[in-house]
Amino acid sequence: MTNVLWQMALMIALGVGWRVVTPFGLAADPTRRAVSGLVYTVLLPALVLLVVWRAPLGLDALRTAVAAAGGVLFGMGLGWAVYRVLRASRPAAGALILAAAFPNATYLGLPVLEKTLGPWARSVAIQYDLFACTPLLMTVGVLVARAYGTGGDAENPLVALLKVPSLWAVAAAVGLNVAGVPLADGVEGFLSSLGATVPPLMLIALGMGLVWDRGFLARAGLLVPAVAIQLLLVPVVVWALAAGLGLTGEVRVAVILEGAMPCMVLGMVFCDRFGLDGALYAGAVTVSTVLSLVTLPLWFAWVG
């Protein structure tokens, strides 16, 4: 696990280095948006289609989704309680509630699980994210962002959910899987070629998105609860739910590791869109991602 994470860290460092060097005059933020847009709309749906089409879809997929949803809702509820007690400003509280609730299940979780446990574990990362985290983000998460933010549009969360390309891909893949439609060699090769580019591009884009804004240092103490909830407490809840639901073996290990991932990068988009405290959220992503290089091997040693 440690060797795998350091390989991942080097790819993330390439993205951080891009932000510093800006090769060919390509600034990090627009480049990251272009890379992330390509991954989000084309490459990740192709990988989702490939993996879910071939994955066994039984009770373990449902158990994974329930454990993931429980972890997200626990993080959100505890984050709400903590930042209500701390009397954080509403934009800061909203940003950090999202940081405490939603893990980086795909952008970091998928490559970590694949490299650590094998290609089969990609399906766990996809199920964890697309069967639970993304639907909750685009519904409950949007409602939280609206309630605490100072801006944003009035688009119906369910309409926004229907615009997620990977959810259409997973719906198609589930249908093909259940119907027993064979995966032709040519289609498999095409989807595999596209999907193989997803992990490195996601990690490099993650590095481009890590921001250390000096302005949040005076309020850095607010990060501690969100980061602790995400890296330390949510995995305990996910572990308990996974065990209680009957998940066993490597699948349970994969689910717990997904619950132990750092804060989700996509939340920065929500901060910009709904007027939340983007500097604090970016700090939570950066700090939790760096600390996860220590906490993830510990969780793996404990549960693996």
**Domain ranges, ordered by start, for the chain:** 28-303
Reported confidence tier of residue 136, pLDDT bands at 50, 70, 90: very high
CA distance 53 to 57: 9
- Position 299 pLDDT exceeds 70: yes
Reported confidence tier of residue 19, pLDDT bands at 50, 70, 90: confident
CA distance 40 to 29: 16
List Cα–Cα distances, 208 to 28, 31, 203, 236, 276, in angstroms. Answer: 6, 8, 9, 30, 20
Residue 144's pLDDT is 93
Residue 154's pLDDT is 63
Specify the pTM: 0.86
Residue 4's pLDDT is 76
Check if the beta carbon of residue 45 is closer than 8 Å to that of residue 165.
Answer: yes
Q: What's the mean pLDDT in 129-153?
A: 87
Greater confidence, 209 or 39? 39
Strand partners, 103: 263
CATH 1.20.1530 at 28-303, yes or no:
yes
- Highest mean pLDDT among 52-56, 99-103, 129-133, 170-174 belongs to 99-103
Q: What's the mean pLDDT in 127-144?
A: 91
- Position 7 pLDDT exceeds 70: yes
| Alpha helices (runs of H) in the chain, residue ranges in sequence order | 2-21, 28-38, 44-54, 59-85, 90-101, 109-117, 122-128, 134-136, 142-148, 157-161, 165-179, 185-195, 198-209, 223-228, 234-245, 249-259, 267-274, 278-303
Greater confidence, 94 or 39? 94
Q: What's the mean pLDDT in 185-194?
A: 93
Measured between its terminal Cα atoms, the distance across the chain in Å is: 10
Query: Locate tokens 């070629």: which residue?
Result: 193
Greater confidence, 89 or 56? 89
Q: What's the mean pLDDT in 60-83?
A: 97
Strand partners, 263: 103
Say how far residue 66 (Cα) sits from the centre of its chain.
16
- Position 152 pLDDT exceeds 70: no
